Structure 1
Amino acid sequence: MNIGLIGAGAIANFLLEELNGDEKEDLCIRSIFVRNKEKYRPLESKYDVTLFTDLQSFLQSEMDIVVEAANVEAAKTLLPAVIKKKDAVLISIGALADAELLAEVTELAMRHGHTLHLPSGAIGGLDLLQNANIGSVSSVSLTTRKPAGSLIAEDIDEAKVVFEGNAADAIKQFPKNINVSIILSLAGIGAERTKVKIVADPHTDKNIHQVEMTGDFGEAVFTITNNPFPDNPKTSYLAAMSILGTLKRMNRKVRVGG
């Protein structure tokens, strides 16, 4: 499967190293869409890829699927055009907190016969939540604790709650940090009803997510302690791996979970 990549940051480089550096994989990144071709020119020779700055030329290049690895604003701008032409994997899931964009992309995917894949990112338990939601889920809450410096600029000595509200408002205030709240919302009871608390902690170097849910199925509580991504402490390492895992599972004939 040939892959087109939007963005050339830390996660994009992780995918390039894992996929284009492994000849055993039946997955390869062929094209990359960037804003500044000269800045990322070395990627062409290092990973045997072609850089594009024109979106339509990028979408017409040799690819089967597009992976967005940029940011929420880029996702909002580019996703409608992408899903008209190709299947896609969306990393910046926070973009779908915009109800109008979600409705537009859903309609376009159906009309053009394409699929939008949403990786689980830095958390797990989405299969449990989706299955439970076939019945009735009454509450879903997320408490995220991250290194203080990845959330706020001020120096603090003790842990500080920097946000408490719902997922829709959380992604507006922390668009680079709380994508997990939106994937939880999409799998469960929506962004308005999904409760979120964000804690800036000067005493941790981990990204910690605690999810609690209740419903007809019973109750579930689980905690994931993630190492930050080496090249970007605002991102969990598991988030990068979930994208790679999503791509690798696409062609499998035996699929676990769901």
Structure 2
Amino acid sequence: MEAPRSRRVGILGYGQLGQFLAQQLLARGPPLGLTLAWVWARDGASLGGLPPALRLPDLGLLPSTGVDLVVEVAHPCVAQEHGEDILGHADFMLGSPTALADPETERRLREAATRGGHTLYIPRGALWGCGDIARMDQEGTLAALKVTMTKSPQSFRAQGWLRERVAAAVASGTRTVLYEGPLRPLCPLAPNNVNTMAAAAVAAPGLGFDGVTACLVADPSVPDWHVVEVEVTSVGDKGRCLSVTSIRRNPAGPAAVTGSATLGSFWSSLQVTPPFLSWLRPWDRSGFLGL
């Protein structure tokens, strides 16, 4: 029997996560049927450590590379600007699902996936219990979902008015609740920091970005940890309902945006893309990986 063709993978972004995935693909990918095709970065100079053959200087060259899967681990603006074109030629794993908080971006990416016959994937990242949340949502038993993320103030890459709140937290040296409320308006204010929350909104479309409650906390007492607390509440009868709370403590370098355990989670998700295991929603051609 003929062996299946190796799946060619392109990476968008060459920060901590992009470098880790590139290294894993080069060292461990071939036996798994995965080949690193190229890496692209907004700052092309950051690719200097890669062999020239693995550097993609212009995303306009993507159609000629024969890539099967493109993995974005850069910034939500990359999906907003290039996601439609990518889905016209390859499957797309969106590592910055905060991009989907913009309804127009979500609509364009869904339509592009349908037109191109490709699939938009959302990795679980640091979201613990993702599969259970998705199943409850599908069954109509999910009543509420709250995600609290606590990090060192130096780990936040805040925008707009939230930047001032982070600066105040740094100055005070005390635990500060930066935001608590619906997830959607938070995503553009902390696009690099709340992708776990965005993954929860995609896992539970019955609640979505407007129904998931987000709580973002700056705490100088956890300089090398990212703490994610997920509170799930089911539909109940006469005040009695299922309630589950999980707390994930992820080691992280000082001021790091991504915790160390999340690197392995992304690599796990990458390994289960087709022709391996995937979990799909046929109605919108989107899916979660590595559940």
TM-score by length of 1: 0.90
* In the alignment, structure 1 residue 93 sits paired with structure 2 residue 97: yes
Residue identity matched to 2:27: G
Distance in 2 between the 1:61 and 1:91 partners?
Answer: 21
Read off the aligned partner of 1:65 and give its amino acid letter.
Answer: L
Distance (Å, rounded) in 2 between the aligned partners of 1:106 and 1:174: 23
**1:163 maps onto 2:169 in alignment:** no
What does residue range 38-53 of structure 1 map to in structure 2 within 5 Å? 38-44=45-51, 49-53=53-57
Say which is worse superposed, 16-25 or 115-124, in terms of deviation.
16-25
1:38 CA displacement: 4.3
- In the alignment, residue 225 of structure 1 is paired with which amino acid? R
* Identity fraction in percent: 24
- Is 1:26 matched with 2:33? yes
- Alignment match, 1:198: 216
Give secondary structure in 1 for the equivalent of 2:51: helix
The answer to whether the aligner puts 1:7 opposite 2:13 as a matched pair is yes
Contact kept, 8 Å, 2:278 with 2:290, in 1: the verdict is no
Cα distance 1:244–1:107, how it changes in 2: closer, same or farther (>3 A)?
Answer: same
Question: Which sections of structure 2, spanning at least 5 residues, go unmatched?
Answer: 1-6, 157-165, 236-240, 280-288
Q: Higher helix proportion, which one? A: 2
Superimposed CA distance per residue, residues 106-165 of structure 1 (whole angstroms, 9 cap, x where no aligned partner): 111112110111000112111111111122321111111111221334333221111111
Q: Which residue of 2 aligns with 1:237?
A: 260
The answer as to whether partners of 1:122 and 1:237 remain within 8 angstroms in 2 is no
The residue aligned with 2:68 is 64
What is the letter of the counterpart of residue 209 of structure 2?
A
Deviation at 1:36, TM superposition (A): 4.2
How far, CA to CA, are the matches of 1:30 and 1:231 in structure 2? Answer: 32
How far does residue 182 in structure 1 lie from its aligned partner after superposition? 1.0
Paired positions, count: 254
* Contact 2:39–2:54, Cα closer than 8 Å, also in 1: yes
Cα contact 1:6–1:32 (8 A) shared by 2: yes
Mapped partners of 1:140, 1:156: distance in 2: 30
In the TM superposition, what is the alpha-carbon distance from 1:253 to its structure 2 partner? 5.9
Q: Pick one of 129, 132, 142 that aligns with 2:133.
A: 129
User: 2:124 — aligned with what?
Assistant: 120
Query: Do the aligned residues in 1 keep the contact of 2:11 with 2:71 (CA within 8 Å)?
Result: yes
1:54 is aligned to 58
Match of 2:3 in 1: none
What residue in structure 2 maps to residue 219 of structure 1?
A: 243
CA contact (8 A) 1:166 1:196 kept: yes
The CA distance in 2 between the partners of 1:36 and 1:44, in whole Å, is: 16
Q: Find the residue that maps to 1:155 and give its secondary structure.
A: helix
